């Protein structure tokens, strides 16, 4: 089946009692046992599993072409489950500009458990040089990256990892499975903040991890999901399944708008640089074009007049809302360096845009009046 059909049907079951076309929300935390002490409905306790979570995990796995999926309470919880599944002392190679929330999680929660090197994953030779033959267990890719929209060659990195018996996980949040298919390019796991494009309306919190195949490492991720309890509520699962039904169409709209805005910004005399893999000026545009079917709704740009100008633009927007997060139908703008804190390597004159589904002419007019 095509992705549009999977998105609508793989997360839904017609209710056997009422014949409701949309699967109902199951809020119960516990489920009845039969006289032999078994669970005829297949569910025991909602921390371990829930009908709505099962539906969400089914559509996630099928959208990604994976073996199985685990839904979590947030993207960070999804990442943490994989990090916790590694043996203590494992060496991890990660992107030097990986999402700051996950980087903070690694640095503050796992500093005495994992050995992590942050490098430029667009440099394949640097990846080879960073591998420690006996201890490197995971390469964590994020492409396109947040907020610099760097591109990593997923297939090439997976080939390097495979020769050393190293697992690869790709944070595919910006691209979604509609535009990029990491498991088909050789990755072992793909991770998402489902808060973003899967939910699509800035009203749920969630994360996901999908595996290419069964493995001992995946079994441990699944075990941690159940035992740690960092799982999404039934309501958030229900709403995420609902959001996914329009995901293919929303992603096309986001990408179409972002492309027009990137071209507008590239021509603007007050814009120093535009970071968008869909532009031919992007240093790894050719790699992005090979592994992505389209380039997504996220972009960043820097102002030639510096940080003060960037903050002035952020405060002058009328349609773009100045707010954290991304992937909703509404357009958002953020001065990332101030969010990431004093340790941030993000340029202080950079603004990140989550391009929404408003009329693109209105969005361009808003940027024009704010930049001047």
> Active-site residues: which are they?
47, 99, 171, 196
Alpha helices, DSSP H only, in the chain? Answer: 3-9, 51-64, 75-85, 100-109, 124-130, 154-163, 176-179, 216-228, 234-244, 247-267, 285-291, 307-316, 336-340, 360-371
* DSSP H helix total and E strand total for the chain: 14, 12
Q: Which residues pair with 92 in a beta bridge?
A: 116, 138
Specify whether the CB–CB gap between 56 and 101 falls below 8 A.
no
Distances (CA, A) of 280 to 85, 161, 173, 274: 39, 29, 22, 11
The encoded tokens of residue 129 equal 């040089």
- Residue 341 DSSP label: -
Q: Which two tokens stand for residue 278?
A: 């869909």
């Amino acid at each position: 089946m095509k992705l549009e059909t999977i998105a609508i049907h793989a997360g839904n079951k017609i209710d056997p009692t009422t014949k409701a076309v949309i699967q109902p929300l199951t809020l119960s935390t516990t489920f009845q046992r039969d006289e032999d002490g078994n669970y005829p409905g297949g569910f025991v306790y909602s921390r371990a599993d829930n009908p709505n979570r099962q539906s969400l995990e089914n559509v996630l796995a099928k959208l990604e072409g994976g073996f199985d999926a685990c839904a979590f309470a947030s993207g960070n919880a999804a990442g943490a489950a994989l990090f916790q599944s590694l043996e203590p002392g494992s060496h991890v190679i990660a992107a030097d500009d990986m999402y700051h929330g996950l980087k903070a999680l690694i640095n503050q929660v796992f500093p005495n458990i994992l050995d992590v090197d942050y490098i430029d994953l667009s440099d394949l030779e640097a990846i080879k040089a960073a591998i420690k033959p006996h201890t490197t267990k995971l390469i964590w890719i994020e492409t396109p990256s947040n907020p610099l929209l760097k591109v990593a060659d997923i297939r090439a990195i997976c080939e390097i990892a495979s020769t050393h018996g190293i697992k690869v996980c790709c944070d595919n949040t910006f691209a979604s499975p509609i535009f990029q298919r990491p498991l088909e390019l050789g990755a072992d796991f793909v991770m998402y903040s489902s808060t973003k494009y899967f939910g699509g309306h800035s009203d749920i919190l969630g994360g996901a991890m999908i595996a290419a195949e069964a493995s001992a490492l995946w079994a441990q991720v699944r075990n941690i999901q159940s035992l740690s309890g960092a799982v999404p509520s039934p309501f958030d699962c229900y709403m995420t399944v609902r959001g996914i039904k329009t995901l293919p169409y929303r992603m096309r709209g986001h990408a179409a708008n972002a492309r027009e805005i990137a071209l507008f910004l590239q021509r603007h005399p007050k814009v120093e640089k535009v970071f968008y893999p869909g532009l031919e000026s992007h240093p790894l545009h050719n790699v992005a074009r090979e592994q992505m079917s389209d380039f997504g709704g996220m972009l960043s740009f820097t102002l030639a007049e510096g940080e003060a100008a960037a903050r002035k633009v952020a405060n002058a927007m009328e349609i773009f809302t100045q707010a954290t997060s991304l992937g909703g139908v509404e357009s958002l703008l953020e001065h990332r360096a101030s969010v990431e804190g004093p340790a941030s390597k993000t340029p202080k004159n950079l603004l990140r845009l989550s391009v929404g589904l408003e009329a693109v002419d209105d969005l361009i007019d808003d940027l024009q009046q704010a930049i001047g």
